[in-house]
C-alpha cells in the first residue's frame, strides 16, 4: 500500500478507525464500547434492585453511578459507531457494490444480536407469565389502550412511508423520497411522544414504576428498550434525511437508506409483537401467555 493510499484510508481518527490487526482490513472498537455500555446498564439495574429490597446489601448510590456512567459510555459508543458507519468518508464516497453488501450484512448481523437481546427480555416475561397470574402490582391497561393502538398505527404507517420513500428514490423521484423520509421522521417523533405520555400516566398518575413487582420490571424493560431503539432509529433516519437534502442519494447509491430502513422495519415488527404479547396478552387470564 502506498503512502498516499495509507493516508486516504486513515483520514478520520476522531472517532478512531484503524487497521487492527494490521492486514485484516478496517476494524472498529466502537461496537465493543457500545456493548460494554449496554452491559453496564443491566449491571446498574441489578445493583439498584439489590439496594431497594427489605434487607439491602448496599446503598442505591453504586447502582445510580454505574447507570449514569454506563448510559454515557453507551451513547459515546453509539456516536462513534454511527460516525464510522454513516458519516466518516461517506460524504464523498461513491457507489460501491462491495461496500453496500458489507454494510447490509453488518446490519443483518447487528439485528440478529438485537433479536437475542429482545428474546432474553421476552423470555423473562414468559417465565413470569407462566406463574400466578395476574401478578401483584400489575396495572389496568384500559386507560392506555387507545394510546397504544394509536401509537401502533403510527409506527406501522411509518414503515409504509419509509418504503414509499425507498421506491421513490429507486425511481429517481427525489421530491417524493424526501417527503417520505420527512413523514417517517414525523411519525416516529409522535410515537416517541406517545410513549412518553404513557409513561407519564403510569408513573405520575398511577404510581406504577419499575419497582412495582416483577411485571413492572418486564414492562418497563421491554417498552423502554424498544423506545430506545425507536429513538436510535430516528437518529439514523435523521442522518439519512439530512444527506438526502444534500442530494447524496440516487437509484444507484442508496446503501445508507437501505440499511437504516432495515433497522426501522425491525423495530416496527418488534413493537407489534410486543403489543400483542405484553399489552393484550397480559389481560388474558390463565397461566399461559
Contact criterion met (CB below 8 Å) for 218 and 279: no
Q: Show the DSSP H helices in 52-96 as ranges.
A: 61-82
Domain parsing of the chain, residue ranges: 1-89, 95-289
**Cα 32 to Cα 271: distance, rounded to the nearest angstrom:** 26
**Cα 176 to Cα 161: distance, rounded to the nearest angstrom:** 10
Among residues 157, 156, 150, 161, which one has the least CA distance to residue 193? 150
pTM over 0.75: no
Please write the tens of the pLDDT for every residue from 148-184: 899 999 999 999 999 999 999 889 899 999 999 999 9
Radius of gyration, alpha carbons of the chain: 21
User: CATH number of the domain at 95-289, out of 1.20.120.80, 3.30.70.141, 3.30.70.120, 2.60.40.3710?
Assistant: 1.20.120.80
- Which pLDDT value is given to residue 1? 42
**More confident: 94 or 196:** 196
**Stretch (H or E) spanning 178:** helix 174-200
Among residues 285, 283, 281, which one has the least CA distance to residue 126? 281
Contact criterion met (CB below 8 Å) for 249 and 165: no
How far apart are the two ends of the chain, measured CA to CA in Å?
59
- Angle made by CA atoms 224, 105, 84, in degrees to the nearest 5: 70
**Cα 185 to Cα 183: distance, rounded to the nearest angstrom:** 5
pLDDT at 280 over 60: yes
* The three cell numbers locating residue 186: 414525523
Residues with Cβ within 8 Å of 162's Cβ and at least 6 positions away in sequence, in order, are 180, 181, 184, 237, 261, 264, 265
On average, the pLDDT of the chain sits at 79
Please write the tens of the pLDDT for every residue from 206-229: 888 877 888 888 888 899 889 989
- Of the candidate ranges 51-55, 56-60, 163-167, 228-232, the one whose mean pLDDT is the lowest: 51-55
Amino acid at each position: 500500500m502506498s503512502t498516499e493510499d495509507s493516508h486516504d484510508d486513515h483520514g478520520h481518527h476522531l472517532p478512531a478507525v484503524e487497521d487492527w490487526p494490521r492486514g485484516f482490513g478496517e476494524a472498529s472498537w466502537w461496537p465493543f464500547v457500545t456493548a460494554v455500555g449496554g452491559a453496564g446498564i443491566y449491571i446498574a439495574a441489578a445493583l439498584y434492585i439489590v439496594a431497594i429490597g427489605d434487607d439491602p446489601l448496599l446503598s442505591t448510590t453504586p447502582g445510580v453511578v454505574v447507570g449514569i456512567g454506563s448510559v454515557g459510555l453507551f451513547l459515546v459508543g453509539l456516536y462513534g459507531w454511527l460516525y464510522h458507519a454513516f458519516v466518516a468518508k461517506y460524504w464523498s464516497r461513491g457507489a460501491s457494490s462491495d461496500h453496500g453488501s458489507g454494510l447490509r450484512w453488518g446490519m443483518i448481523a447487528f439485528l440478529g444480536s438485537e433479536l437475542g437481546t429482545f428474546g432474553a427480555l421476552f423470555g423473562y416475561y414468559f417465565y413470569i407469565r407462566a406463574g400466578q397470574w395476574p401478578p401483584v402490582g400489575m396495572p389496568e391497561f384500559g386507560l392506555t389502550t387507545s394510546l397504544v393502538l394509536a401509537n401502533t398505527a403510527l409506527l406501522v404507517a411509518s414503515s409504509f412511508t419509509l418504503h414509499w420513500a425507498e421506491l421513490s428514490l429507486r425511481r429517481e423521484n427525489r421530491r417524493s423520497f424526501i417527503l417520505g423520509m420527512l413523514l417517517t421522521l414525523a411519525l416516529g417523533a409522535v410515537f416517541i411522544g406517545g410513549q412518553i405520555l404513557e409513561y407519564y400516566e403510569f408513573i405520575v398518575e398511577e404510581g406504577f414504576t419499575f419497582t412495582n413487582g416483577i411485571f413492572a420490571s418486564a414492562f418497563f424493560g421491554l417498552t423502554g428498550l424498544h423506545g430506545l431503539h425507536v429513538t436510535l432509529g430516528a437518529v439514523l433516519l435523521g442522518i439519512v434525511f439530512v444527506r438526502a437534502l444534500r442530494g447524496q442519494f440516487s437509484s444507484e447509491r442508496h446503501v445508507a437508506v437501505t440499511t437504516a430502513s432495515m433497522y426501522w422495519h425491525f423495530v416496527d415488527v418488534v413493537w407489534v409483537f410486543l403489543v400483542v404479547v405484553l399489552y393484550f396478552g397480559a389481560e388474558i387470564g390463565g397461566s399461559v401467555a
